[in-house]
């Protein structure tokens, strides 16, 4: 089975701080973070009314597709992507090869500013995920380590 990604209180707080700060610094409408399997890890900004779960899944699908295209032309991946809409635009940046930072923004800001602020946030986030990797290597049992077969059965009998 694939390696688990676990986020703890301390790192969760730091990730959220980085996303909140980036939202303000880049004047973005929404900032979000997903892993490459499409799981939403954090979000900030005006997320009301946005289907963040679907946004996460489709962002991951897009990033891995572009990585597939990159391979075909001899690149490892396209670490940054920009999709321009008539009102809203989307900027995506790969963090440490494993998660994706996304920004939704409109014409209240500029691509240059978004790119600049995102680059700084990507560096900070990469350090947080390195710390998470170190923590995972020494972590104790996970939250499901002591569940019973009955617990799992009950999940589906409710």
Partner 1 sequence: MSFINHPSKEINCKVVYYGPGLCGKTTNLQYIFNKSSGETKGKLISLSTETDRTLFFDFLPLSVGEVRGMKTRFHLYTVPGQVFYDASRKLILRGVDGVVFVADSQLERMEANIESLENLRTNLAEHGYDLSRLPHVVQYNKRDLPNAVPVETLRQALNPGNVPDFEAVAPTGVGVFDTLKAAAKLVLTEIRKAG
Q: Where along the sequence are the contacts to partner 1 (CB under 8 A)? A: 1-9, 12-13, 35-39, 41, 51, 53-54, 57-58, 61, 64-65, 68, 141-147, 149, 151-156, 158
Least distance from partner 1 to the Cβ atom of residue 128, Å:
14
What strands lie across the sheet with 80-83, from one edge to the other?
40-45, 30-35, 99-105, 89-95, 80-83
Contact status, residue 125 vs residue 15, Cβ threshold 8 Å: yes
H or E segment at 124?
helix 111-138
**Could you tell me which residues come within 8 angstroms of residue 22 by beta carbon, excluding any fewer than 6 positions away?**
28, 31, 44, 101, 103, 117, 118, 121
CB of 4 or CB of 48, closer to partner 1? 4
Shortest Å, Cβ 29 to partner 1: 20
In the complex with partner 1, the residue whose CB is nearer, 110 or 154, is: 154
CB of 92 vs partner 1, minimal distance in Å: 16
Q: Residue 6 or 111: which CB sits closer to partner 1?
A: 6
Nearer Cβ to partner 1, position 39 or 80?
Answer: 39
| Beta carbon of residue 72, minimum distance to partner 1 (angstroms, whole number) | 9
**With respect to partner 1, which residue has the nearer C-beta, 84 or 158?**
158
Please answer whether residues 108 and 27 qualify as being in contact, where contact means their C-beta atoms are separated by less than 8 angstroms: yes
> Shortest approach of partner 1 to residue 131 CB, angstroms?
14
């Amino acid at each position: 089975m694939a390696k688990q990604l676990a986020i703890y209180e301390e790192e969760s707080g730091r990730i959220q701080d980085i996303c909140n700060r980036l939202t303000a610094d880049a004047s973005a409408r929404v900032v979000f973070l997903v892993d490459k399997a499409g799981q939403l890890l954090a979000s900030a900004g005006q997320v009301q009314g946005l289907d963040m779960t679907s946004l996460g899944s489709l962002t991951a699908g897009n990033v891995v597709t572009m990585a597939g295209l990159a391979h075909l032309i001899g690149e490892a991946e396209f670490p940054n992507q920009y999709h321009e809409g008539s009102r809203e635009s989307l900027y995506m940046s790969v963090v440490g090869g494993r998660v994706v930072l996304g920004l939704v923004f409109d014409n209240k800001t500029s691509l240059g500013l978004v790119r600049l602020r995102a680059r700084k946030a990507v560096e900070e986030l990469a350090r947080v995920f390195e710390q998470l990797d170190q923590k995972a290597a020494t972590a104790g049992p996970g939250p499901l380590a002591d569940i019973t077969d009955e617990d799992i059965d009950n999940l589906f009998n409710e």
